[in-house]
Chains A and B, each alone.
Chain A
Amino acid sequence: MSGPRRIMWAYLTTGIAVFGLMVLVGLAMRMEQARWLTYDPGSFYALMTLHGSGMIVALALCGMGGLWFIMDRERAMDQGLAWSAYALIVFGVVAVILSVFPGRFGAGWTFLFPLPFVGTTWPNWATGTFLIGVALVMLGWTIYCMQLLGCVLTKYGGMRGAMGWDLVFHHDAFVASGRPEPPPAAFAALITAVDGLFAVAGGMLVGVALIIHWIDPTVAIDPLWAKNLTYLFGHTFANLTIYMAIAFVYVALPRYAQREWHTSQVLAIAWWGTLLFVATAYFHHLYMDFVQPRGLQYIGEVASYLAAFPPAVVTIFGGAMLIYRSRLRWTMSSMFMYAGLVGWLIGGVGALIDATVPINVSLHNTLWVPAHFHTYLLEGVTLFVFGWIFADLEARTGLVSSLATRWITGLGIFGGGAVLLLGWYVAGAASVPRRYAEQPAPGPAIAAWASAGAILLILGLVVCLIEAVRLARARSAETAA
């Protein structure tokens, strides 16, 4: 296996391992809410903290590895730096796990100041370990984004070239010059790097402030300032997991459709919009903070709406257009990628509803929120990642999974997933709060059938894993022969 491919697979396998662990943690939480399992609230909130922070890092690792590999083929990057970023993130994940087991840190991934320090039921070292763990993840992410940015800027002639400025505004001259336009995946890389660095700057500010407060509790922090920066980082980082993984669809889906996904002027402009709106949509997390400057609340709603346009009009529509009346080969990979586009779109509708302030008044911090973000993370990003993994395995082995395997996997992941997700939507519309170890009615009854859906989903994931291992072993056997 080549160096770059080894890097990609290190990120992917680590991400998938953490993802698998976090799925089980999530199931344990849902079963506790259904009253199928009984454990104390302290354990529930520790698991909730682990699930939230671990799952985002898991998906980010998968996206990072795949996107790094794609861009490395455009222009070779330093492998040592990629390993450094990986090591920092893995150390960060280990620190976060240690803060929860055995530390029982339970302030949530949001760690809203001053919760990690007030009324705590966990030791002080657990708070510090968690904060240092998050800081390590941010450091690794910073290195990764800088490397990605360097790659894109060098390859395509600075920011002007990478943004496709001449392609859009001097189209004829650009075509006549014979210069290649950046491929669609390069836009995903550029926007990930720029928005990623912007977000992590905010995250680092609040992270360092919290670590200083942990060392010296007399150092004061403004709670509204801390909340803004926490969500700037958290929201943007989570959002970018989608935009990293969409590069997989740009690269792999055309192969199955036997068509091309080229960079058009519209695609370039759409990504400019994404650059701006992903960085400004986070204000919707503070809709219920009425002291937030009113202008930022307006920006929050407008940016949240506009953020939907590039995916809906360009990428998802483009994906549908790509396969329409094509000779698409339906395999595990193409099935996951196309289904991921559907999940992203449906989750986006749920998010848009929640991003409308007068509606948010009755949905904010209810189960409607995990409903929509699980839709585009579980039935969107995760499927893009699985699609990418199977694209690599199918390309290298020449093997395709049987129709029965695809059906069983699909029934589990899409069918079980739909039941799980529907539970959150129904409960959210019924005003059941999120982040409750013990929910008011009708929460527990809904959690029971949602848990059944989650178990079905996990069975689908297990079949998927077995199939991936089968293909990987077939490749190993072929190589050995």
Chain B
Amino acid sequence: MRDRQAYVAVKFVNGASPVLIGFLVAAGAILIIMAAVARTTIEPPETQAAVTSSGYRLRKGWLWGLGASAVVALAISLPSFPYGKPETLAGKHFTVIASQYSFELPPAVPAGTNVIFDVTSKDVNHGFGIYDPRGRLVAQVQAMPDYVNHLPLRFGVKGHYLVRCLEYCGIAHAGMQGAFEVR
């Protein structure tokens, strides 16, 4: 069951990054709250004991809220971890070999079915980062010397996928690219 879940479904997300929006909303809320707290220093002061008494109650609520958020985040994210046991990963395997400064890639992989990239390196650590036809990073795994990392995926969208190196690997790191088609 767990290994079936390991396949990351590659699909398009429309519009602005929800991650960025979520972060900006949280950052804005923090700024507003902390600014409001700072502003109280120009109001009539209260004793520390009075502030502490109500502050500790608020802190308890903050702890519970944060704890509940963490539990929800873990409950959602843990089952979606992309790690699968290689011996139980069912699907067509494709070998990817990275070396300074190129990738040996399959020319094409099928859409709508489970595929597994078996990724390794001939020399140093590299990153096998897959960019969808719209230029968004949709999956990645490290390409390591002496090891093979298995990246299970299911492509929902056909097209031209660019591969970029995502682990610093030397002077031509920024130019290390490849590509494959999803048909």
Q: Which residues of A contact B30 (CB under 8 A)?
A: 342, 345-346, 349
Q: Does A301 contact B (CB under 8 A)?
A: yes
**B164 and A433 within 8 A (CB):** yes
**B19 and A353 within 8 A (CB):** yes
Q: With A118-B123, A353-B22 as given contacts, are A327 and B41 in contact (CB-CB < 8 Å)?
A: yes
Q: Which residues of B contact A362 (CB under 8 A)?
A: 19, 136-140
Q: Does B12 contact A (CB under 8 A)?
A: no
Within A241-277, the residues touching B (CB, 8 Å) are 259-260
Within A303-351, the residues touching B (CB, 8 Å) are 305-306, 308-309, 312-313, 317, 320-321, 323-328, 330, 338, 341-342, 345-346, 349-350
Q: Does B78 contact A (CB under 8 A)?
A: yes
> How far apart sit A106 and B66, CA to CA, in the bound complex (Å)?
41
Among B19, B81, B142, B174, the residue within 8 A (CB) of A289 is: B142
B63's closest neighbor in chain A, by CB? A313
> How far apart sit A222 and B48, CA to CA, in the bound complex (Å)?
56
> How far apart sit A115 and B102, CA to CA, in the bound complex (Å)?
16
Closest-CB distance, B157 to chain A (whole angstroms) = 15
Q: With A298-B78, A324-B37, A365-B167 as given contacts, are A224 and B147 in contact (CB-CB < 8 Å)?
A: yes
**A305 and B73 within 8 A (CB):** yes
**A317 and B83 within 8 A (CB):** no
**B34 and A341 within 8 A (CB):** yes
**B34 and A342 within 8 A (CB):** yes
Within A223-244, the residues touching B (CB, 8 Å) are 223-224, 227
B50's closest neighbor in chain A, by CB? A325
Q: Does B173 contact A (CB under 8 A)?
A: yes
Q: Does A363 contact B (CB under 8 A)?
A: yes
Chain B: number of interface residues, binned into ranges = 35 or more
Q: Which residues of A contact B8 (CB under 8 A)?
A: 358, 361
Among A297, A325, A438, A439, the residue within 8 A (CB) of B83 is: A297
> How far apart sit A211 and B169, CA to CA, in the bound complex (Å)?
20
**B59 and A325 within 8 A (CB):** no
**A119 and B20 within 8 A (CB):** no
B38's closest neighbor in chain A, by CB? A338
Q: Does B43 contact A (CB under 8 A)?
A: yes
**A290 and B45 within 8 A (CB):** no
**B171 and A45 within 8 A (CB):** yes
Q: With A224-B147, A431-B137 as given contacts, are A357 and B81 in contact (CB-CB < 8 Å)?
A: yes
> Which of A121, A290, A294, A438 has the most CB atoms of chain B within a 10 A radius of its CB?
A290
> Which of A115, A224, A288, A440 has the most CB atoms of chain B within a 10 A radius of its CB?
A288
Q: Does B175 contact A (CB under 8 A)?
A: yes
Q: Does B141 contact A (CB under 8 A)?
A: yes
> How far apart sit A309 and B142, CA to CA, in the bound complex (Å)?
30
Closest-CB distance, A46 to chain B (whole angstroms) = 10
Closest-CB distance, A444 to chain B (whole angstroms) = 12
**A358 and B81 within 8 A (CB):** yes
Q: Which residues of A contact B131 (CB under 8 A)?
A: 431
| Interface flags, B135-164, vs A, CB<8A=1, else 0 | 111111110111111110000000000001
B134's closest neighbor in chain A, by CB? A431
Q: Does B91 contact A (CB under 8 A)?
A: no
> How far apart sit A3 and B98, CA to CA, in the bound complex (Å)?
55
Q: With A115-B125, A223-B125 as given contacts, are A349 and B23 in contact (CB-CB < 8 Å)?
A: yes
Closest-CB distance, B122 to chain A (whole angstroms) = 10
Q: Which residues of B contact A118 (CB under 8 A)?
A: 100, 123-124, 170
Closest-CB distance, A425 to chain B (whole angstroms) = 6
Q: Does B1 contact A (CB under 8 A)?
A: no
Closest-CB distance, A263 to chain B (whole angstroms) = 14
Q: Does A180 contact B (CB under 8 A)?
A: no
**A222 and B146 within 8 A (CB):** yes
> How far apart sit A288 and B166, CA to CA, in the bound complex (Å)?
10
Within B18-74, the residues touching A (CB, 8 Å) are 19-20, 22-24, 26-27, 30-31, 34, 37-38, 40-41, 43-46, 48, 51-52, 55, 59, 62-63, 66-67, 70, 73-74
**B74 and A436 within 8 A (CB):** no
**A121 and B34 within 8 A (CB):** no
Within A15-37, the residues touching B (CB, 8 Å) are none
**A426 and B168 within 8 A (CB):** no
Closest-CB distance, A156 to chain B (whole angstroms) = 24
Q: Does B129 contact A (CB under 8 A)?
A: yes
Q: Does A114 contact B (CB under 8 A)?
A: yes
Closest-CB distance, B54 to chain A (whole angstroms) = 9
Among B66, B124, B164, the residue within 8 A (CB) of A112 is: B124
Q: Does A430 contact B (CB under 8 A)?
A: yes
> How far apart sit A118 and B24, CA to CA, in the bound complex (Å)?
41
Q: Does A51 contact B (CB under 8 A)?
A: no
Q: Does A435 contact B (CB under 8 A)?
A: yes
Q: Which residues of A contact B48 (CB under 8 A)?
A: 259-260, 326
> How far apart sit A119 and B168, CA to CA, in the bound complex (Å)?
13
> How far apart sit A119 and B173, CA to CA, in the bound complex (Å)?
11
> Which of B62, B131, B145, B173 has the most CB atoms of chain A within a 10 A radius of its CB?
B173
Q: Which residues of A contact B44 (CB under 8 A)?
A: 325
Q: Does A53 contact B (CB under 8 A)?
A: no
B24's closest neighbor in chain A, by CB? A425
> How far apart sit A289 and B143, CA to CA, in the bound complex (Å)?
8
User: Would you list 12 pairs from A and B whose C-beta atoms are within 8 A, ordered by A residue?
Assistant: A45-B168, A118-B123, A289-B142, A290-B141, A291-B148, A305-B73, A327-B45, A342-B31, A346-B26, A361-B8, A362-B138, A433-B165
The chain B residues found within 8 Å of chain A, CB to CB, are 8, 16-17, 19-20, 22-24, 26-27, 30-31, 34, 37-38, 40-41, 43-46, 48, 51-52, 55, 59, 62-63, 66-67, 70, 73-74, 77-78, 80-83, 100, 123-125, 127, 129, 131, 135-142, 144-151, 164-175
The chain A residues found within 8 Å of chain B, CB to CB, are 41-42, 45, 106, 108, 110, 112, 114-115, 118-121, 222-224, 227, 259-260, 288-291, 294, 297-298, 301-302, 305-306, 308-309, 312-313, 317, 320-321, 323-328, 330, 338, 341-342, 345-346, 349-350, 353, 356-359, 361-366, 368, 425-426, 429-431, 433, 435-440
Please provide the 5 A-B residue pairs with the shortest distance between their CB atoms, ordered closest to farther: A431-B137, A429-B20, A429-B17, A436-B174, A325-B46
